[in-house]
Amino acid sequence: MSGTSLDGIDAALIATDGERSVKPLGFVTVPYRPDFRQRMRACFNILEGAADPHVAATAVELTQLHASAVDLLLKRVRRAPSAVDFIGFHGQTIWHRPHERRTCQIGDGALLAKLTHIPVINDFRSADVAAGGQGAPLVPLYHAARAATMPRPVAVLNIGGVANITWIDRDGSIIAFDTGPGNALLDDWMLRHTGVPYDADGKAASKGNVDWALVNGVLERDYFRRAAPKSLDRNEFSHLQLEHLNVADGAATLAMLTVASVARGFQLLAKKPQLLLVTGGGRHHPLMMRWLGEMVGCPTQPVEAVGWNGDALEAEAFAYL
């Protein structure tokens, strides 16, 4: 899995029947080098997709990096490629426009199969989007499998580049959608102003003041009034006017925008969950986690509280899918 936060590749090995039985067997994460991250970032919103020379070259490099991650994982768990049935290969989303029935994830499944000697399943989103679906989020079915024995209703919030929520009721029914910005806007803000691509330990945001006029203005957008299912492109809110803010105030405002949009999303759930479990990079942001607990009105914990590995969860999900 390579998510919209562009921090690197997560690779996980699981044993599963594709239904309720899931056993994690191993996990590695391989951070992207800054130069590759910049090449990848330059692919965003190039609508020609893999037909663009820069995107095509980056897709090959991305695939080779995934093959190296698979090799590292198998060496770590001491398994041969022949012991693995399939690789679920998400690729990298460079744009996502379900309202236009278009989405683009780059990465060469055939090349990955050739490099790893393992059958590859890829291109998870295109058919659903072409048929009028959202193509995202896809991890809720895995969340439901992992939460099968937990008290419900329960919700799982993934704060990656975009934030998405899965709500699972007692009868197994699911509501799932992208709530709004995740870490992408905050990460981009910090990279632009400090050279570091994230707000480490929430230190910048904790020193700032929230621009509530900006947050409330964004929440007036039509997206937040629409019913689920719904999904967002990473750059949907990238043109916000923040330059009147200093670094700390911008960080605080963007962190609150993520949290406030989650709280707004709670209005679309059939009933309040007994527990909100948080995964993705956002769970490492102490201020964001504190604000979440205060705003959603239910117990809020990182997924590690129930024995899950939040760093591995999305990679496990694509193995499961």
DSSP secondary structure letters along 185-220: HHHHHHHHHHSSSS-GGGHHHHTS---HHHHHHHHT
SS3 95: strand
Q: Could you tell me the end-to-end alpha-carbon distance of the chain, in angstroms, rounded to an integer? A: 12
Per-residue pLDDT, 66: 98
Per-residue pLDDT, 78: 98
Amino acid symbol at 203 = K
pLDDT tens per residue across all 321 residues of the chain: 998 888 999 999 999 999 989 999 999 999 999 999 999 999 998 988 889 999 999 999 999 999 999 999 999 999 999 999 999 999 999 999 999 999 999 999 999 999 999 999 999 999 999 999 999 999 999 999 999 999 999 999 999 999 999 999 999 999 999 999 999 999 999 999 999 999 999 999 999 999 999 999 999 999 999 999 999 998 899 889 999 999 999 999 999 999 999 999 999 999 999 999 999 999 999 999 999 999 999 999 999 999 999 999 999 999 999
Taking alpha carbons only, the member of 293, 311, 288, 304 closest to residue 203 is 288
Structural tokens at position 267:
């209005």
Predicted structure pTM score = 0.94
